Amino acid sequence: MTDLLERTDIEGRAEGAPELRLLGGFDLRRGGDTVELPLNAQRLLAFVALHERPVLRVHVAASLWMDTTDDKAGANLRSTMWRIRRTGHALLASSGRYLRVDEHVRIDVRDLLHMERHRLAERVPEAGIDDRWLSFGGDLLPDWYDDWVVVERERLRQLRLHALERWCERLSASGRHGDAIDLGLAAVALEPLRESSHRAVIRAHLAEGNVDQALRQYDTFAAMLRLELDLAPSPLMHALVAPLTRRVAPPDSHGGDIERAY
């Protein structure tokens, strides 16, 4: 059995490249049709896809079959690669000691990272931000509990949260308050108890002149924080809303209702 997995040929490319979706659950499609893979093959493809550079075969084998010997892990890797190859789709490419996902496979996680890097470099103008940023829904492989998945899931989650908050602030500063609030609320939906996301939404409401909406967002967060964790908002949050209220001291450990100054 050769370890070299051929790339897609001209006819294969004409039919459309495979699409691998890892956000919200494993889903492999080509031309709108689902490509069925056994679980071991899914795990192998996902593991390699989450590495943007080629991965050492021995590292792949040791990570996916850590409870067995090196020889057995290597045999499992070769067997799983053969099963992937039997699908008739070029999904993996092997070169010497390294594995990578075939360059024609579109991967939603990489699309997300690519989009954010362009925004960080400010190659995409603010006018170019649209609903595509919100279309990446769901956590990474939510029903998988391998250590390598858990670590990558949290990394991507934090990336998305920081990106949503950052662009909420930028859009609000450029006067696109509605879009800013949409992005801020998307961050709140991802992590309802994350204070920085609520602060971003509050600032967007204030920039638009909607004091009542800002205070309503504060009240929602404060009540949720008190109910879930028996905590009060931080001094940063208090400083944000204090000018809108008669309260001049930070709230006590159990929060409390904000007294409006209008």
* Domain count for the chain: 2
Is 1 within the bounds of a domain?
no
CA distance 209 to 1: 68
Domain, as residue range, for 138:
125-244
What distance, in Å, lies between the first and last C-alpha atoms of the chain? 77
Is 162 within the bounds of a domain?
yes
Co-location of 99 and 144 in the same domain: no
- pTM for the complete prediction? 0.77
Is 130 within the bounds of a domain?
yes
Q: Give, in degrees to the nearest 5, the angle at Cα 167 between 163 and 169.
A: 120
Co-location of 155 and 88 in the same domain: no
Co-location of 152 and 69 in the same domain: no
Is 20 within the bounds of a domain?
yes
Q: Which two tokens stand for residue 140?
A: 């990474």
Is 262 within the bounds of a domain?
no
Q: What is the 3-state secondary structure (H, E, C) of 161-175?
A: HHHHHHHHHHHHHCC
CA distance 221 to 223: 6
- pLDDT by 10-residue block (mean), the chain, 262 residues: 34 66 94 93 98 96 96 97 93 94 94 75 53 65 95 91 89 92 93 97 97 96 97 95 69 50 43
CA distance 241 to 172: 17
Co-location of 38 and 147 in the same domain: no
Count Cα atoms within 13 angstroms, Cβ side, for 142.
Answer: 7
